């Protein structure tokens, strides 16, 4: 008899709740599971667990809570802190997907005898005749696509992952499904981009949890001319224009952060554009057949993919050369590679 047990990650939000409905309709035996991830947001976590439990009770499915706070702190929070201290701009959602949602969560699924793992992500998984394997693909609705955050999933796991929302393009559709059976989370607001910093004030977060003090330093032009003083380089990011507190004959932007010299380097709009980047920690979902591949590369979540050549180097690193200059390539973010059909080939960290 086929194993149709699926462990569904339930955050207490409408996306994962409707995912449970859809999975049941597809004939799966659904087990809901909420992860405790961050002790700093205890009230938010407790509300998420409470809402998920209510939904599971209404739908008549099992619900579990697993405590992954130590794993989350180790793999997500500590990495987030370290990246900022190294003058990089991290993307914690990518680390969370890699180590928690498609790492630790898979282990929990195995313990419970579940063949499949499901989440409320907006992305597609399907079998590709072209590549002869399961592939990760962009969502049907570009604005909702989350494939950028998912490139770290190992290709071996794709056949076990279900994204029940993969054919939906509108949040209104999802809420309507929830309303039809009076789910209490039908109108619940979406969560923030960084779950452990709901107010978005990451500098305060770093002060609190990393004992990170704002060490003042110089703001300089790329030629070395001092223009002013910064309030700690963790307050700045590549491409930033506002809040620099300096005056100059033309608009200036942050073009580099130097943690060794404790400097914020600024330049003109023109100085933000580059044609190349280096990437490390590459995960290939589609194994390249050659040392050079032509593809479309995306340098941040909100960026558009751009034509590029990826040159595969030693030590799991790549050089990416774009056809056209890219604005504000930022260390710590990820570069993700797509083919012409929106299939994720792989990706890695920008260094």
β-partners of residue 232 are none
Question: For tokens 């980047």, what's the residue?
Answer: 277
- d(CA 165, CA 139) in angstroms, rounded, equals 9
Helix axes 78-85, 202-209, angle to 10 degrees: 110
96 is catalytic: yes
For residue 338, what are its two tokens?
A: 């797509």
Options 56, 96, 114, 295, the catalytic residue: 96
Torsion of CA 16, 22, 26, 32, to 10 degrees: 30
The DSSP result for 61-129, as a single string, is: -EEEEEE-HHHHIIIIIHHHHHHHHTT----HHHHHIIIIIIIIHHHHHHHTT-SEEE---S-EEEEET
Question: For tokens 């009230």, what's the residue?
Answer: 43
CA geometry: angle 94, 172, 187, nearest 5 deg: 85
> Which residues have C-beta within 8 Å of that of residue 239, sequence separation ≥ 6?
253, 254, 272, 327, 328, 330
74 is catalytic: no
Nearest to 30 by CA among 49, 52, 56: 56
Options 33, 56, 195, 295, the catalytic residue: 195
CA geometry: angle 26, 68, 84, nearest 5 deg: 110
- d(CA 131, CA 345) in angstroms, rounded, equals 10
C-alpha distance from residue 337 to each of 127, 171, 191, 350 (Å): 18, 27, 27, 13
Which are the catalytic amino acids?
96, 195
């Amino acid at each position: 008899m086929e194993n149709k047990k699926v462990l569904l990650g339930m955050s207490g939000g409408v996306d994962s709740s409707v995912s449970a409905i859809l999975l049941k309709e597809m004939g799966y035996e659904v087990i809901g599971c909420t992860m405790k991830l961050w002790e700093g947001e205890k009230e938010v976590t407790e509300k998420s667990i409470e809402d998920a439990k209510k939904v599971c009770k209404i739908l008549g499915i099992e619900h579990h809570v697993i405590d992954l706070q130590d794993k989350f702190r180790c793999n997500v929070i500590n990495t987030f802190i370290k990246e900022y201290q190294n003058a990089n701009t991290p993307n914690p959602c990518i680390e969370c997907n890699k180590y928690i949602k498609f790492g630790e969560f898979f282990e929990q699924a195995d313990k419970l005898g579940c063949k499949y793992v499901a989440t409320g992500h907006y992305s597609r998984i399907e079998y590709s005749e072209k590549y002869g394997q399961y592939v990760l693909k962009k969502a049907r609705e570009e604005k909702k696509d989350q494939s950028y955050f998912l490139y770290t999933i190992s290709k071996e796991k794709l056949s076990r992952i279900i994204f029940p929302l993969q054919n939906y393009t509108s949040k209104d559709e999802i809420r309507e499904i929830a309303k039809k059976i009076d789910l209490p989370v039908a109108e619940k607001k979406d969560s923030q981009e960084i779950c452990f910093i709901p107010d978005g004030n990451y500098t305060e977060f770093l002060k609190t949890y990393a004992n990170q003090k704002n060490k003042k330093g110089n703001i300089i032009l790329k030629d070395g001319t001092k223009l002013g003083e910064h309030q700690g380089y963790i307050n700045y990011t590549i491409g930033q224009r506002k809040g620099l507190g300096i005056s100059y004959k033309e608009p200036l932007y942050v073009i580099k952060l130097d943690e060794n010299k404790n400097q914020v380097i600024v330049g003109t709009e023109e100085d933000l554009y580059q044609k190349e980047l280096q990437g490390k920690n590459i995960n290939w979902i589609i194994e390249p057949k050659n040392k050079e591949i032509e593809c479309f590369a995306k340098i941040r979540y909100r960026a558009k993919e751009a034509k590029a050549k990826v040159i595969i180097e030693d030590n799991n690193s790549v050089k990416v050369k774009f056809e056209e200059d890219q604005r504000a390539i930022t260390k710590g973010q990820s570069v993700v590679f797509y083919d012409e059909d929106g299939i994720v080939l792989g990706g890695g960290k920008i260094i």
